[in-house]
Amino acid sequence: MKQFALFAAFISTAFACRPIFDEDYYGGMRPMAACWLMTDILCETRLNEDVGYLILPEERVIVATNLHEWCINMIIEEKAREEDGRLTYGWLEEHGNLTLVGNTLVITNAEVEMYQRLMYKPCYGWPYEPPCNDKV
């Protein structure tokens, strides 16, 4: 019975956890999370394990290092769309001012509290396994 409940939850999540498709978006869809973040199996946004983060709360600055080239291209496109009035993913409004320096993203006027909440690992599964909720 427990396995059925888990399977049903997974199926309902799989159908609920989808990007928004619209040909006016870059690539024809709006991703579930900004490209320097990730989405877990329960559609929760999390810090991407492949990206390094420096969070400076006092300065309201986030630094994301080691970005992939495709992510850098998406950020460049997002900024270009913002400038000429095309449909954007809303990353500037949601995260702050985005500045690329090589493969590093500097976010100023950042939503620091959101990133601080993302620093904790989710507690999924039974039984919960440590280091559940420990900082990443």
Span 35-57, pLDDT tens digits: 999 988 888 888 998 999 999 99
In a domain, 112, yes or no: yes
Total domains, the chain: 1
Going from the C-alpha of 113 to that of each of 18, 42, 65, 93, 99, the distances in angstroms are: 25, 21, 19, 15, 19
In a domain, 126, yes or no: no
In a domain, 40, yes or no: yes
Name which of 78, 114, 116 is nearest 97 in CA terms: 78
Name which of 113, 7, 4 is nearest 56 in CA terms: 113
Residue 111 is part of which domain span? Answer: 2-117
Structure confidence by residue, pLDDT tens digits, 6-28: 555 555 555 567 888 888 888 88
In a domain, 129, yes or no: no
In a domain, 37, yes or no: yes
In a domain, 73, yes or no: yes
Secondary structure of residue 27 in the 3-state scheme: helix
| Higher-scoring residue by pLDDT: 78, 4 | 78
In a domain, 131, yes or no: no
In a domain, 130, yes or no: no
Question: Which pLDDT score, from 0 to 100, does residue 134 have?
Answer: 46
